[in-house]
Structure 1
Amino acid sequence: MVVLKSIIPNKIHIIGSVGSGKTTLARGLSSQLNIPYYELDNVVWRRTKNGDVRNTPEERDEQLSTIVHSDAWIVEGAHHQWVSQSFQSAELIIFLDVSVAKRIARIIKRFILQLLNLEKANYTPTFEMFMKMFKWTNDFEKNSKREILNMLRQYDDKLFILKDNTEIELSRVCR
């Protein structure tokens, strides 16, 4: 378990594959630290009654800039190509390197809970979406993971790589 006992960060970026536990970790840290969290999918997509509408790159980047320039935030998502300002401004970057088997189990569990209306979804939990999640986790493992880790090397001083979203405990020694 990683225990952070120095100054508790106010700006945290969590990145990992679908099913890695990003949102769960972000919610937990948000609650513990009283810092708002933002899902990058909700920066990419504008949620409407008639379905999701993709924000333009300018709208997306402006939204992220507003978040990054606030005093405290936690952002989470699998996105890495367009979020460099978040990585640069973050005081802590957490890369969730959860096993494929665990991610697959979580994807299946999430889908069932969403179908039963026991878990909220930002999208309609269709079979097509369910299948896309398997493709995304596979693509992440084959391509994105290596790309992200190479990109994050420049942030080694503030990067933690965790094998599970339960491996971190923030101690409120200093704030």
Structure 2
Amino acid sequence: MKIRIIGPVGSGKTTFANALSKQTGIPVTALDTLNWHRMVTGDVHKTPAERQTELNHVLRQNHWIIEGTQYRHGQAVFGAADIIYVLDVPLWLNIFRLITRWLDTRMNHGPRQYQQIWPYVKWLKQWYRYDKLAVLALLTPYRDKVKIVKAFDKIKTLE
């Protein structure tokens, strides 16, 4: 099974991917891992060649779950996926999750990339204004394998 999960920041992509992985034993790849070198001094973008090499390695596997907001690079993932989940939870829930993630990170000295909230608010705003429509248009050729998930309680119970 090849699964692609997409949605805005704070929509539950990672939680959903990990739950599916636990149910199925299929490994999860986060697009953030393919796109960034995580460093103590700050994140650095991987080169397009590095990203493509790592993505191709994942795509060659018989089973995978790939989750992330990114859609401009690696569009071949949508074509290769057996099922595409688009997480479309309410905006208030995204904002709530962003704030709780930020607070948790600040209080517990979590990953550096989550210590700033404003870039995530900006990305969330961009998703609801532009990216969501762009993603849905991009997925038109794959509509038979697209599942739109609107309620988080349903995310936890999908099988």
Q: If the length of structure 1 is used for normalisation, what is the TM-score?
A: 0.84
Q: 1:125 aligns with which of 105, 108, 114?
A: 114
CA distance in 1, matches of 2:152, 2:71: 19
SS at 1:51 equivalent: coil
Q: CA deviation at 1:153?
A: 1.1
- Higher helix residue share: 2
| Equivalent residue runs for 1:1-175 within 5 Å | 10-117=1-108, 121=111, 123-126=112-115, 129-168=116-155, 169-171=157-159
CA distance in 1, matches of 2:132, 2:4: 16
CA distance in 2, matches of 1:162, 1:170: 10
Task: Give the residue type in structure 2 aligned to 1:105.
Answer: F
Task: Give the residue type in structure 1 aligned to 2:153.
Answer: T
CA distance in 1, matches of 2:151, 2:28: 19
CA distance in 2, matches of 1:93, 1:74: 10
Task: Give the residue type in structure 2 aligned to 1:60.
Answer: R
Task: Give the residue type in structure 2 aligned to 1:47.
Answer: R
Task: Give the residue type in structure 1 aligned to 2:30.
Answer: E
SS at 1:13 equivalent: strand
| Runs of 5+ unmatched residues, structure 1 | 1-9
* Aligned 8 A contact 2:5 2:67 in 1: yes
* Aligned 8 A contact 2:101 2:114 in 1: no
CA distance in 2, matches of 1:102, 1:135: 16
* Aligned 8 A contact 1:20 1:164 in 2: no
Deviation string 1:57-95 (CA, Å, 9 cap, x unpaired) is 111111111111111110111101112111111111000
Q: CA deviation at 1:170?
A: 4.5
CA distance in 1, matches of 2:77, 2:117: 29
Q: 1:165 to 1:92 in 2, by over 3 A?
A: farther
**Aligned-pair RMSD on alpha carbons?**
1.6
Runs of 4+ in structure 1 deviating by more than 4 angstroms, as ranges, are none
Q: If the length of structure 2 is used for normalisation, what is the TM-score?
A: 0.92
- Higher strand residue share: 1
Percent of pairs identical after alignment?
36
Q: How many residues align?
A: 158
* Aligned 8 A contact 1:11 1:74 in 2: yes
